[in-house]
Amino acid sequence: MTRDAVPATSDDLWTVMSTASAVRRYRDDPVDDRALQRCLTAASWAPSGGNQQPWRFVVLRSEEARALISAAAARAWDSMREFYRLPDLDDGATDPKSRVLSAMAEHMRAGGSAPALVLFCVQPQPGASDLHQGGSVFPAMQNFLLAARSQGLGAAITLWHSLCEDDLRELIGIPHDWQLAALLTVGRPRGGHKPVRRRPLAEVAVVDRWDRPWTGAGADTVRVDIAGASS
């Protein structure tokens, strides 16, 4: 599938999954309530342990909430630059690493000004580890991401909320027995969608033993065409 062949919207699951890359650059267009409601509904359809559905999806629209997210995102970018010793960005650079860093920088500097912001929260279940808790909220996030892509929207998962969690809890009234799992930024992508780039199955799937890679059909491919056949 070439970039030019990627449709803006699609109801085909294989097309949606294979082109649902993280989108961090958005147009100024607002995300209308109908599209957002479809994403939230899809999230609510996700499986969870014992079908307990221990989640809440908080749509952040107030200026106060957006200001908190913007400040947190800016601090996160500053910390990343210092920790990873990232170089100053050259706006004219076209190599893959520079393009990724440029998109990340723009995304984090924009912060709370993304067209839509959705905070995913989960209520911990007794005796479950943090990883197990995630198993009851991350499928809802993936459903949201796929529903967004299907409608021509783009989204990205962030953890900026962790740098303003106490203030967010107080502002929103989130009970202390709930965890803040992730924050999604959502909007119409600038530049459209493109196929995801992933490692071949032979590098990530094994059969019976850790050192026995999958060698079935498609082991050396990373994409699937819209008909579901290896490409």
CA atoms of 146 and 139, how far apart (whole Å): 11
pLDDT in tens, 141-187: 999 999 999 999 999 999 999 999 999 999 999 999 999 999 999 99
> What structural domains and CATH numbers belong to the chain?
11-197 (3.40.109.10), 199-231 (no CATH)
pLDDT over 80 (residue 32):
yes
Contact 65, 168 (CB under 8 A): yes
Q: What share of the chain in percent tops pLDDT 90?
A: 69
Task: Identify the residue with better confidence: 112 or 82.
Answer: 112
Tell how strand 179-187 and strand 116-122 pair up: antiparallel
In terms of phi and psi (left: phi > 0; alpha: psi -120 to 50; beta: otherwise), the region of 173 is left
CA atoms of 40 and 89, how far apart (whole Å): 36
pTM of the model: 0.87
pLDDT in tens, 210-229: 999 999 866 666 555 444 43
